[in-house]
Amino acid sequence: MMAWGNLVVAPGGNLTLHDMHILGVAGNNIRAQGDAASITFRNVSMDLSSDYSFTSGAIKFKEDVIISGTNTFGYSPTNISSGIDSYSTLHLDTGITFN
C-alpha cells in the first residue's frame, strides 16, 4: 500500500509541476495557502483517486494537462488570475466532473 502525502505552497509562493504524472490526487492534497500562492501544471497528467478540491490561490494550466479518474475536480478559489494559458489544452477525461 502506498501512502500519499501533501504538497502545500506557502502564502506568496509559486510552484510549477512540469512533465510529470501525478497519482493519488484527492481531498486537497495539492493546495495553495492564501490568494497570493500559485500552482502551475505544465504538461502534467493527474489521476484523481477521489474528489479533489482547489479552494485558494491561483491555478494555471500550461501546455497539455490531463485530469483523469471518475471523481469531481472542485474549483472554488476567489483568485481571478487562474486560467488556461494560450496555446494550451486542459483535457478532462470522460469520468471527471468539473465543478
Cα Rg of the chain (Å, integer)? 12
**How much is the pLDDT for 86?**
96
**How much is the pLDDT for 4?**
67
pLDDT along the chain (99 residues), means of 10: 76 96 94 94 97 95 97 87 94 95
CA distance 54 to 48: 13
Asked if residues 69 and 47 have their Cβ atoms less than 8 Å apart, the reply is: yes
**How much is the pLDDT for 7?**
93
